[in-house]
Amino acid sequence: MRFHRLGLVVIDEQHRFGVLEREALNKKGWHPHVLIMTATPIPRSLALTLYGEMDVSLLDELPPGRQPITTRIFYENRHQAAYDLMGRELEAGRQAYVVCPLIEGSETSDLKAAEEVHEALVRKWPGRTVALVHGKLKQDARQKIMTDFKNGDIDVLVATTVIEVGIDVPNASVMVIEHAERFGLSQLHQLRGRVGRGAHTSQCLLIAYPAISSDGKARLEAISQSADGFRIAEEDLKIRGPGDFMGTRQSGMPLLRVANLLRDFKALELARKEAFRLIDSDPKLADPAHRGLRKALSGALGERMKLLDVI
């Protein structure tokens, strides 16, 4: 779809979009203004803010009525303790989520599956209403389950990441995330935001299983120690790297490996000012003194030059 005079593009939940998808939105107009909204900026975009290529506005307060969320890590040997805590919340009249990485189990995977966990909880709490929701259900069926949960007709909702955004159930005060070590920081932060939306003290319980990688441990520590989405994004940047500023990778080691973005921010800011001073005086690098730089850039970046304006 093309627009005649598209002037503004608003992208919500940025981490759900790839670089090329955002480039396609940009190309629907003639250099439209772009506003991105996200609770946790992806590493690439956070790096671009550090370079000064994106302006940033921070909303660092909880919406009215929201409660702080306590986040705790439970390793496999304390698995039952997490569910005991959930049981106490249910006894107090609250509701709960259990999030799993898969819909159904398989012989090749040892991950907890939503169907398996749902069956186990039905047996564990026969007097409770335990429901299951996932992406393979038809839209009408998913919507009915979510409406019943919001209305209090369901005590425990076992789900995949389909509940990551757009769900508001004030009476839900606890979330258990199975195999939390397999989720990204943005996903964990988004999922955690489904609780703490009412007047009740809320908790997010992260259950991790061996063998957990060093990056997995780092993600769990980061999410358990902070509720600040921007701070979590900084930790994500440290763990995953910023990706390609002039390519499509949104994480990983960048093409430009000159400095550490967080440690050397002041030096990078100075380098950026010098780069803009050079471009202001010679935008096409046509000066004979700059031909070597232009050739080096062209050789190093190639097709990536087309993605310079993609955020």
Q: In sequence order, what DSSP letters do the residues of 226-252 get, joined into one string?
A: ---HHHHHHHHHHHH-B--TTSS-SSB
- Are β-strands 95-99 and 202-208 bridged in parallel, bridged antiparallel, or unpaired? unpaired
Of 20 and 289, more confident: 289
Specify the pLDDT at position 128: 96
| Cα 107 off chain centre by | 29
The whole-angstrom separation of Cα 2 and Cα 309 is 19
Mean pLDDT of the chain: 81
Per mean pLDDT, which of 10-19, 135-144, 225-234 is the most reliable? 135-144
pLDDT at 250: 47
Over residues 37-93, the pLDDT tens digits come to: 877 666 666 666 666 666 777 777 777 767 789 999 999 899 999 999 999 999 999
In the chain, which residue ranges form alpha helices assigned H by DSSP? 19-26, 43-51, 79-91, 114-124, 139-150, 185-192, 214-225, 229-240, 265-281, 291-301
- pLDDT at position 309 is 45
Alpha carbons 82 and 75: distance in angstroms, whole number = 10
DSSP letter at 106?
A: B
Q: Tell me 173's DSSP state.
A: E
Average pLDDT over every residue of 27-39: 78
d(CA 190, CA 179): 16
What average pLDDT does range 149-166 have in this prediction?
92
pLDDT top residue among 245 and 161: 161
CB 67 within 8 A of CB 174: no
pLDDT given at position 271: 76
Q: What pTM value is reported for the model?
A: 0.72
Distance, in Å, from the CA atom of 152 to the CA atom of 155, rounded to the nearest integer, reads: 7
- Phi, psi angle pair for 24, to nearest 5°: -60, -40
Nearest to 3 by CA among 34, 27, 29: 29
Query: Could you read off the pLDDT of 199-220 as tens digits, one per residue?
Result: 899 999 999 998 898 989 999 9
- Residues in the chain, overall count: 311
CB atoms within 10 A of CB 233: 25
User: Which pLDDT belongs to residue 251?
Assistant: 47
Report d(CA 212, CA 110) in Å as an integer: 13
- At 202 the pLDDT is 95
Question: In the prediction, which pLDDT does 311 show?
Answer: 36
Task: For the sheet with 130-133, list strands across it.
Answer: 69-75, 202-208, 172-178, 95-99, 156-159, 130-133
pLDDT in tens, 84-132: 999 999 999 999 999 999 888 765 577 789 999 999 999 999 999 999 9
For 141, residues 6+ apart whose C-beta sits below 8 A from its C-beta are: none
Please give the domain boundaries of the chain with CATH numbers for all domains.
8-59+242-307 (no CATH), 69-226 (3.40.50.300)
Tens-place pLDDT, residues 172-201: 999 999 999 999 888 899 899 999 998 899
Q: Say whether pLDDT at 160 is over 70.
A: yes
DSSP tag of 113: B
Q: CA geometry: angle at 180 spanning 37 and 105, to 5°?
A: 115
Looking at residue 108, its pLDDT comes to 58
Angle (CA) 153-157-159 rounded to 5° is: 145
Nearest-angstrom CA–CA distance, 223 and 225: 6
pLDDT tens-place string over residues 254-292: 555 556 655 666 776 777 778 878 888 887 778 888 888
**119: its two tokens:** 């069956």
Q: Which residues pair with 73 in a beta bridge?
A: 206
